[in-house]
Structure 1
C-alpha cells in the first residue's frame, strides 16, 4: 500500500482487485485496475501532486460503472485519450478530428 493511501482507499483497492480477479483478470492486471481506480479517485479529490485532465474531467470510476469495459455502451479509449496519443505521435490535423478519425489515424479501428 502506498503511504499516501488511506485505510479506506486500501480497502477499496483490495475490493476492486478481488472483483477483477473474479471476473477472470490476471493477478497483475487486477492489481493495475485497482491501483488506477484508487489513484483516479485520489486525483479527483485533489490528493495528488499531479493529475491528467482525463483523470479530473468526466465521470468518476463509480459513476462510469464499467461503461468502457466492453460490455455495451461506448467501447475503447475516449476521444481525449486518442487525442493525447495523436499529440504524442505528432499527427497533423488532430485537433479537428472526430473520435473515429483519430482512431483510424492511430490505426486503432
Structure 2
C-alpha cells in the first residue's frame, strides 16, 4: 500500500490480496488485484486526486463481485470506457467516433 493510506484501505488491501491468493492467484497477481480494487474504491469515494471516468461511474467493485473478472468462458471483455481510455493513452486517432468493437480492433491491430 502507498504511504499515507488509511488503515481502512490497508485492511481492505490485505483482505483482497489474501482472498486472491486463496483462489490460487500468484502473489504478484494478488497484489495487482488488491491495488486496483483499493485504488478504484479510493477514487469512487473522493480520496484520490485524480480518477478516470470508469473508476467513478462504473458499478462498485463490491457490487460487481467478479462480474468482469476475466472468466474466459463467456466473458465480454473490457468495457467501452476501459477500451476508450487505453485508446486515448495509445493516441489512437478517431477513437471518439468508434464503438466498442471498433476500439477493440484498433487496439488489437496496434493502430496509432
TM-score normalised over the length of structure 1: 0.84
Count of aligned pairs between the two proteins: 108
- Residue 19 of structure 2 aligns with which residue? 19
- Residue 66 of structure 2 aligns with which residue? 66
1:74 shift after superposition: 4.6
Q: Secondary structure at the match of 1:75?
A: coil
**Pair 103,78 (structure 1): closer, same or farther in 2 beyond 3 Å:** same
Structure 1 residues without counterparts, runs of 5 or longer: none
**Pair 23,75 (structure 1): closer, same or farther in 2 beyond 3 Å:** farther
Q: Secondary structure at the match of 1:91?
A: coil
- Residue 43 of structure 2 aligns with which residue? 43
1:54 shift after superposition: 1.5
1:73 shift after superposition: 6.2
- Residue 53 of structure 1 aligns with which residue? 53
TM-score normalised over the length of structure 2: 0.82
Shifted more, 92-101 versus 52-61: the winner is: 92-101
Alignment RMSD, CA only?
1.9
Structure 2 Cα separation of the partners of residues 65 and 34 of structure 1: 13
Structure 2 Cα separation of the partners of residues 92 and 47 of structure 1: 32
Structure 2 residues without counterparts, runs of 5 or longer: none
Structure 1 Cα separation of the partners of residues 91 and 39 of structure 2: 28
Shifted more, 76-85 versus 15-24: the winner is: 76-85
- Residue 6 of structure 2 aligns with which residue? 6
